[in-house]
Copies of this chain bind each other. A is one copy, B any other.
Amino acid sequence: METRELRYFVAVAEELHFGRAAQRLGIAQPPLSRAIQQLERRLGVALLDRTSRTVALTEAGSVLLVEARAALDAVDAAERRTRRAALAATGRPGLVLVTKANASSELLAKLLDAYAAEPGAVPVDVILCGPAEQARLLREGRADVALLHRPFDSTAGFHTEELGTEGQVVVLPAGHPLTTRSHVHLADVTGLPGLPLPRWPAPDGSYPPGPGPQVRDHAQLLQLVALGRACAVSPESCRAQLHSDLAAVPVLDAPQVTTVIAWPAHSRSRAVADLVRTATRL
């Protein structure tokens, strides 16, 4: 299978419409029809159920859609990492580290300091992004290493080392009745009147349905909490960033959050290895 065929199939599978898919690919519709037919013939598998009016994925087709996206990601990552390696060899060999904005900032500062003190350290660019974006950047070869937080972030496809574990707290507007408690349970904070938990975007950028406000990052969320429009359950290290109008109370039965440093499974970079080693020694 050639990547061209996979790209064509993904386009059709996503559009479920040969004409639109062809337009998106910048080719005419007949060659696209033919390419998909060839792909099906070579695989010996029906990928699409098509009537002359409608197109639907077969069971095998929906498997291929997922797998083809993964394979195309791998090809793109190969290209990008090769380009990065060439740059690193000739010019400025820098690392790109990606982490969630407002998360583990203390750990991050310690890590960057400790790594910078290592012999042979290279400059590290830090990218701050919304949750669930880190994995994509790392997978696409746009970043060399990431700080992820289990169980929120999936670490599938990466090598990881655990850096630390912490409990979670509920962040509330200062003066809320619960802030007098020394601790609470999850059941105490779900469904608080007027303080719903927020909705985070799914990996595809869409928001699940529900009552809470939509948030893209932690700063937004804290602002909404301060406004009395939401409450938040967050790792306790976020306490360092709370203003006086916010209060945090430990949630005893919330899952422990593990911060891990993650890098692509095939990284051959000396700098990444050094950074990881530094991180594990913190």
Contact = CB atoms under 8 A, between A and B. Distances in A.
B89 A60 contact: yes
A70 interface: yes
Nearest to A141: B67
Interface string A35-73: 000000001111100000000001111111011101101
A78 B70 contact: yes
Contacts of A60: 82-83, 85-86, 89
A266 B89 contact: no
A86 B59 CA distance: 7
Contacts of A44: 83, 86
Nearest to A71: B74
A266 B66 contact: yes
A180 interface: no
A66 B79 CA distance: 11
Contacts of A156: 157-159, 265
A43 B158 contact: no
A209 B158 CA distance: 29
Given A78-B64, A266-B66, A88 B71 contact: no
A45 B2 contact: no
Contacts of A67: 74, 77-78, 81-82, 266
A43 B67 CA distance: 25
A280 interface: no
A154 B263 CA distance: 14
A268 B66 contact: yes
B46 A86 contact: yes
A6 interface: yes
A157 B265 contact: yes
A70 B268 contact: no
- Name the residue in A4, A66, A159 with the highest tally of chain B Cβ atoms < 10 Å from its Cβ: A66
Given A159-B154, A159-B156, A266-B67, A59 B75 contact: no
A83 B62 CA distance: 12
Contacts of A62: 268
A3 interface: yes
Nearest to A160: B156
22 contacts: A1-B75, A43-B83, A44-B83, A44-B86, A45-B82, A59-B85, A59-B88, A60-B83, A60-B85, A64-B85, A67-B74, A70-B265, A71-B74, A71-B75, A71-B77, A71-B78, A75-B75, A154-B265, A156-B158, A156-B159, A156-B265, A157-B265
Given A58-B86, A66-B266, 6 more contacts: A63-B82, A64-B85, A67-B78, A71-B75, A71-B77, A156-B158
